[in-house]
A and B are shown apart, each in its own frame.
Chain A
Amino acid sequence: MKKRQMYFRMITASLMRRRSRMLVALLSIAIGATVLSGLVTIYYDVPRQMGAQFRNYGANMIFTASEDTFTLSDVQQGTALIEADKLVGVAPYRYENVRVHESPVVVAGTDMNGAQATSPYWHIEGEWPSADGQIIVGANIAESFRLKTGEMLEVSYTPSEIASGDEAIQDTVLEFEITGILDTGGSEEDYLYMSLTDLEELTGEAGAIDVAELSISANSDELSGYAEEISSTVSAVNARLVKRVTASETTVLTKLQALVLLVTVVVLALTMICVATTMTAVVTERRKEIGLRKAIGASDTSIVKEFLGESMMLGGLGGILGSVLGFVFAQQVSIHVFSSSISFMPALVPITILVSVLVTGLSSLMPIRSATEVDPALVLKGE
Chain B
Amino acid sequence: MSLLELKNVYKIYGELHALDNVNMKVEKGEWVSIMGPSGSGKSTMMNIIGCMDKPSKGEVLLDGVDIAKESAKNLTTVRRDKIGLIFQQFHLVNYLTAVENVMLAQYYHSIPDEKEAMEALERVGLADRAKHLPSQLSGGEQQRVCVARALINYPEIILADEPTGNLDEANEEIVVDLFHKLHDEGTTLIVVTHDPEVAEVAQRTIVLRNGRVVKEVQNQNFTGKIHFNEEGTHVTKTDLKSEEEIQAEEQAHE
Contacts and interface: CB of A to CB of B under 8 A. Distances in A.
Interface of A: 1-3, 5-7, 9-10, 13-14, 17-18, 288-289, 292-300, 302, 375-377, 379-382
Contacts of B93: 289, 292-293
A2 B76 CA distance: 22
Given A1-B113, A3-B112, A17-B133, A295 B52 contact: yes
Contacts of A17: 95, 133
B200 interface: no
Contacts of A2: 111
B96 interface: yes
Given A289-B93, A292-B92, A293-B104, 13 more contacts: A1-B111, A2-B111, A3-B111, A10-B96, A13-B95, A292-B91, A294-B76, A296-B105, A296-B149, A300-B73, A379-B91, A380-B46, A380-B50
B80 interface: yes
Contacts of A3: 107, 111-112
Interface string B46-57: 110010110000
A382 B89 CA distance: 7
Nearest to A9: B100
Contacts of B161: 380
A15 to B, nearest CB: 9
A138 B91 CA distance: 86
Contacts of A381: 43
Interface residues of B, number: 35
B194 to A, nearest CB: 12
A297 B47 contact: no
B95 A380 contact: no
12 contacts: A1-B103, A10-B100, A13-B96, A295-B52, A295-B85, A296-B80, A297-B105, A297-B108, A300-B73, A376-B52, A380-B87, A382-B88
B94 A289 contact: yes
A380 B52 contact: yes
Contacts of A292: 91-93
Nearest to B161: A380
A288 B104 CA distance: 15
Interface in B93-130: 93-96, 100, 103-105, 107-109, 111-114
B105 A379 contact: no
Secondary structure class of chain A's binding surface, majority of residues: helix
Nearest to A1: B112
A72 to B, nearest CB: 76
B103 A377 contact: no
A292 B108 CA distance: 12
Contacts of A296: 79-80, 85, 104-105, 108, 149
Contact of B52 (A298, A302, A377): A377
A28 to B, nearest CB: 21
Contacts of B96: 10, 13
A313 B174 CA distance: 41
B102 to A, nearest CB: 10
Given A1-B112, A380-B46, A297 B76 contact: yes
Contacts of A299: 73, 76, 108
Contacts of A298: 76, 108
Contacts of B105: 296-297
Contacts of A1: 103, 111-114
Contacts of B104: 6, 10, 293, 296
Contacts of B53: 375, 377
Interface in B1-57: 43, 46-47, 50, 52-53
Contacts of B112: 1, 3, 5-6
Contacts of B76: 294, 297-300
A289 B103 CA distance: 15
A297 B89 contact: no
B48 to A, nearest CB: 9
Nearest to B165: A382
Given A1-B112, A292-B91, A296-B104, A380 B43 contact: yes
A226 B126 CA distance: 83
Contact of A293 (B87, B95, B108, B113): B108
A297 B95 CA distance: 19
Interface string B121-144: 000000000000100000000000
Contacts of B91: 288, 292, 295, 379
B152 to A, nearest CB: 10
A294 B89 CA distance: 16
A6 B103 contact: yes
A173 B47 CA distance: 111
A382 B81 CA distance: 24
A378 to B, nearest CB: 9
Contact of B79 (A5, A7, A18, A297): A297
Q: Counting chain A CB atoms within 10 Å of each CB, which of B81, B105, B108, B111 scores highest?
A: B108
